[in-house]
Amino acid sequence: MSYERVKEYFESVNMGERVMVFEKSSATVEEAAEAVGCEAKQIAKTMSFLQKEGPVLIVAAGDARVDNKKYKAEFHQKAKMIPGGQVEELIGHAPGGVCPFVINPEVTVFLDVSLKRFEIVYPAAGSGHSAVRLSVPELEQYSGPARWVDVCSV
């Protein structure tokens, strides 16, 4: 169901042709890169965290890892990932298909600067068998982030 909502969203902004569906899994960075045919670092992985203020998504390059010191400096709290069994309820997408589009209204999106190295990135599109091809400015436009952050290390 999440995939259909994301597809409809991109159709509504005349970008439905950018949404890709794969027969094989794209749930991990490596699987997504293989399915898309790009380098793993170009996959825009979306990680879900629970903060005092509520759930947040951090979208980062596929080769980036959350740096706990940077995260704490940015958000003034420790990084606490949402347990897998709670992701769909809190975010609106199940693990493997989490993306910053068509999410629950109380979720805040942040984009990590690790993405700025690329012209084109591939976030998931609501399922573990999908992705959408976007320029970094398009990702920013269509994900509606609160701001850019520097919380990852490459």
Whether residue 115 contacts residue 60, with contact meaning beta carbons closer than 8 Å, is answered with yes
> Does domain 2-146 correspond to CATH entry 3.90.960.10?
yes
Average pLDDT, rounded, for the chain: 97
pTM for this structure? 0.96
Angstrom distance (rounded) from CA 16 to CA 109: 22
Structure tokens at 28: 């991990």
- What are the boundaries of each domain within the chain? 2-146
Q: How confident is the model at residue 140 (pLDDT cuts 50, 70, 90)?
A: very high
Which pLDDT tens digit goes with each residue over 33-77?
A: 999 999 999 999 999 999 999 999 999 999 999 999 999 999 999
Q: What is the pLDDT of residue 1?
A: 63
Instruction: List phi, psi (to 5°) of 25.
Output: -65, 145
Which pLDDT tens digit goes with each residue over 73-115?
A: 999 999 999 999 999 999 999 999 999 999 999 999 999 999 9
Instruction: Give me the numbers of helices (H) and strands (E) for the chain, helices first please.
Output: 5, 10
Per-residue b or e along 34-60, where b marks 16 or more CB atoms closer than 10 Å to that residue's CB: ebbebebbbbbbbbbbbeeeebbbbbb
Q: What is the pLDDT of residue 79?
A: 96
Q: Residue 108: which residues within 8 A CB-CB, separation 6 or more?
A: 53, 54, 55, 56, 57, 146
Structure tokens at 5: 């909502």
